[in-house]
Amino acid sequence: MTPVIVIARLKTRADRREAWIAAARTCIEETRKEPGCLSYDMHESVTEPGRFVFVEQWQDRAALERHMTLPHLQTLVAMAAGCVAEAPSIEAMAGGERWRLM
């Protein structure tokens, strides 16, 4: 099994930053309990508040694909529509292969 790394980047609207952080924390907590989740972290830029990056590591592609269907992630994705200032970028890579999730 080849681990999968995911890098997700997004910029929130200033007025929705705190709501985004709260919702993301809930999703992060649930995601870390998922089988196949090796790590799942969110970081905010120190020079540009509201610019976030998620760095994830999954046991394999099947674990990532299962994650994409779960209610806590779907809730966060739906909420993101009202929080983001620009389209998010989500990329995955494993074993030399790269693909976009969004």
Distance CA 2, CA 94 (A): 6
Distance CA 59, CA 81 (A): 28
The total of structural domains in the chain comes to 1
- pLDDT digits 0-9 by tens, 48-73: 999 999 999 999 999 999 999 999 99
CB 19 within 8 A of CB 80: no
Structural domain for 49, as ranges: 4-100
Distance CA 80, CA 99 (A): 21
- pLDDT digits 0-9 by tens, 67-98: 999 999 999 999 999 999 999 999 999 999 99
* Structure confidence at residue 1 as a pLDDT band (50, 70, 90): confident
CATH number, residue 83: 3.30.70.100
